[in-house]
Amino acid sequence: MSKEKRTTLDQIGEFGLIDRITKPFAHYHATTVKGVGDDAAVIQINDTEHLLISTDMLVEGVHFNLMYAPLKHLGYKSVVVNLSDIYAMNGKPEQITVSLAISSRFTAEAIDELYAGIRKACDVYGVDLVGGDTTSSLSGLMISITAIGRVNHEDVVYRSGAKENDLLIVSGDLGGAFVGLQVLEREKEVYKSNPNAQPELEGHDYILERQLKPEARKDIIQFLDELGVRPTSMIDVSDGLASEILHICRASGVGCHVYDEKLPIDPTTYSTARDFNLDPSTCALNGGEDYELLFTIKQADYEKIKGSPHMTIIGHIVEENAGIYLIDRAGALIPIQAQGWNHFDR
Amino acid sequence: MSKEKRTTLDQIGEFGLIDRITKPFAHYHATTVKGVGDDAAVIQINDTEHLLISTDMLVEGVHFNLMYAPLKHLGYKSVVVNLSDIYAMNGKPEQITVSLAISSRFTAEAIDELYAGIRKACDVYGVDLVGGDTTSSLSGLMISITAIGRVNHEDVVYRSGAKENDLLIVSGDLGGAFVGLQVLEREKEVYKSNPNAQPELEGHDYILERQLKPEARKDIIQFLDELGVRPTSMIDVSDGLASEILHICRASGVGCHVYDEKLPIDPTTYSTARDFNLDPSTCALNGGEDYELLFTIKQADYEKIKGSPHMTIIGHIVEENAGIYLIDRAGALIPIQAQGWNHFDR
């Protein structure tokens, strides 16, 4: 290790680190169709199908806080965030592996609870738990899940397929998980200063569920298939809408114009954001953890999806030189910048 | 979570926990050929091949100590231990995913070193890095790797295929990694009491490499294939020979007699074990982390493997009621018990 150069991780960020460490790798197998750089890796397995592989690691104190995340919900969410990546490739998840590192403060009954949530997610989404690893940790809980899925060759959707004039669409609504987290953080602070205080969670059911027990949009993939619409590009909204728009634009070599007034925000998200003096649009753009699907479709497919519930046209793809902008209600162009989670910048 | 019952993890151990959490899972997909319970999961992908998936998690302070494990070696070893599981199914690894949780005390240059080792292992074993996840941790380094491989339908070897009268064979030699760890632990203690002391590592090259930079036995799989010998059962020696023998016997419903005098132990391992007042046979039986292959073959195949280097016949399979015994040099039968790593029992 060079003694001269010491680059801290917050100087380069997560995406900088990923770029730095994955570029020099050669590929030896023709079966590797797509490696690093999309929601899942794509591996050739037979004449009609590709295998999809995606993996996520959740770390206590970074991705979840057991003061307010029930273990059963945590288990459920851990699976869902991985399945979301398989759907984002327009695929169907079939198997998962689950690895845990557990400190001795957890009882077997606590791990049973975590697995009850994992099992629930497997049942709801119809996936098989096929393996994993279980070990101790010196402190805290770490969960590493790998999801395995399939997609027909002609159906796989990458981040890189967006074309000028395509419509940009997002499923569901945005910002709820982030605003739900603010409610939980507030109640945690109240509890810490007065452990006898009753948590004020009433009226926040929707945004709390968005944070604690999100769902992956299996239904959207099925719905698009039934409508005969194949997205030209797709990604799931894990780090935040702004960050995901940038991923699609960079991978596709295009620009994008997004309309602030079109951002789908649930009324509960909106009013609670206001209570916290947060701009609802900023929560929608940068909040993250929505696990909605962001995708582009050809204009020719507009008639097929017009009037569909669960999806909103929020903008359109433009040529690369036309930039990546949010157009606010006054018509001003605001450059979209990634303000997704930078885990190293704390 | 029940308030009445609190079972600590060291009461049930790793295997008890795995049994407890994986039994209630249903399988939804006919493509899931084999789930939990072998070195890798087996998934049907086409008319001739199965996909193999295996995953391992390495935790700082539990599986490695950065006081003596160079990051480059750690990266190499992290990949190798996963590939070993694919070879143990008689398969060929093709891809890996690598997930890291990293605390802010690591520099980007340190992570470069770790990845240099990962890249080296990918080059040596010819596997493609196709994905992963990178996040921060509150303390320490966690590495979670998933290996993906392939095997022809007729070639997959499970733990469960051992039959009475089969020969029990192990590749290479045993106990070296464990004795190497004792040397490193001793020097760590010396260093902690006197940071100016020079480490006494001379003459221990072989066992230190066994601990810090093990290899997976790709060569053995190729060799058996060339000889036309298909093992009836196989497992890799990660937790320790005794533990792996029990896995094969339980999965196959058989017993086993193993001969102490046949255990392959390198002279360096032997003499260093003696220096530490350790019984070399115990190191070979219970040390773990050898990443050798333990397998059974039909007696009819004996002529094909007779005289082969790199493999030793250490015993034979008997009927279940005849028990699982080590036969010592005096002819006494000693029950084999798993004393592999129990990470929760510290």
Q: What is the ipTM of this complex?
A: 0.90
Over 80: is that where the pLDDT of A345 sits? no
In degrees to the nearest 10, what's the CA dihedral of B319, B320, B323, B326? 60
* Token code pair at residue A123: 């049942």
CB A341 within 8 A of CB A286: no
Q: Which domains does chain B have, with CATH numbers?
A: 30-155 (3.30.1330.10), 159-335 (3.90.650.10)
Name the residue among B296, B125, B134 with its Cα closest to residue B214: B125
Mean pLDDT of A6-30: 80
Interface contact A152, partner B, CB < 8 A: no
DSSP state of A8: B
Name which of A21-25, A117-121, A195-199, B58-62 the model is least confident about: A21-25
Contact list in B for residue A73 (CB cut-off 8 A) is none
Residue B4: predicted pLDDT: 63
Mutate which: B146, B238, B342, vs A, most A CBs within 10 A: B146
When pLDDT is cut at 50, 70 and 90, the band that residue A55 belongs to is: very high
CA distance linking residue A48 with residue A297, whole number of Å: 23
Mean pLDDT of A19-41: 85
Over 50: is that where the pLDDT of A346 sits? no
Neighbours of A200 (CB within 10 A): 11
Over 70: is that where the pLDDT of A340 sits? no
Mean pLDDT of A218-228: 96
Residue A117: predicted pLDDT: 96
Contact list in B for residue A82 (CB cut-off 8 A) is none
SS3 category, A209? helix
Contact list in B for residue A144 (CB cut-off 8 A) is 55, 57, 99, 133, 142, 144
The mean pLDDT value of chain A amounts to: 92
Sheet strands (E) in A245-310: 255-259, 293-297
Residue B10: predicted pLDDT: 81
- Choose the closest CB to B146 out of A27, A55, A134: A55
User: Consecutive 10-residue runs of chain B (346 residues): their mean pLDDT?
Assistant: 70 78 80 91 96 96 91 97 98 97 92 94 96 90 97 97 98 97 90 80 89 97 96 96 96 98 97 96 94 98 91 97 96 84 46
Give the pLDDT confidence of A181-198 residue by residue, as tens digits. 999 999 888 888 888 777
CA distance linking residue B311 with residue B317, whole number of Å: 17
Name which of A158-172, A189-203, A214-228 the model is least confident about: A189-203
Name which of A81-95, A280-294, B177-191 the model is least confident about: B177-191
- Choose the closest CB to B136 out of A22, A94, A343: A343
The model carries a pTM of 0.93
- Choose the closest CB to A36 out of B1, B123, B130: B130
CB A283 within 8 A of CB A178: yes
Neighbours of A30 (CB within 10 A): 8
CA distance linking residue B341 with residue B322, whole number of Å: 26
CB B89 within 8 A of CB B152: no
Mutate which: A2, A42, A81, A146, vs B, most B CBs within 10 A: A146
When pLDDT is cut at 50, 70 and 90, the band that residue A199 belongs to is: confident
Task: Tell how far CA B143 is from the center of its chain.
Answer: 16
Residue A339: predicted pLDDT: 63
SS3 sequence of B153-221:
HHHCCCHHHCCCCCEEEEECCCCHHHHHHHHHHHHHHHHHHCCCCCCCCCCCHHHHHHHHCCCCCHHHH
Residue B190: predicted pLDDT: 85
* Token code pair at residue B107: 């520099």
Mean pLDDT of A37-46: 94
Interface contact A24, partner B, CB < 8 A: yes
Sheet strands (E) in chain A: 32-34, 41-44, 49-59, 92-102, 128-136, 142-152, 167-171, 233-236, 255-259, 293-297, 311-318, 324-327, 333-335
End-to-end CA distance of chain B: 25
CA distance linking residue B293 with residue B168, whole number of Å: 11
| β-strand partners of A171 | A311
Interface contact B94, partner A, CB < 8 A: yes
10 Å CB burial of residue A12 (0-12, 13-18, 19+) is: middle
CB contact under 8 A, B99 and A46: no
Contact list in A for residue B346 (CB cut-off 8 A) is 104, 136
CA distance linking residue B183 with residue B186, whole number of Å: 5
Sheet strands (E) in chain B: 32-34, 41-44, 49-59, 92-102, 128-136, 142-152, 167-171, 233-236, 255-259, 293-297, 311-318, 324-327, 333-335
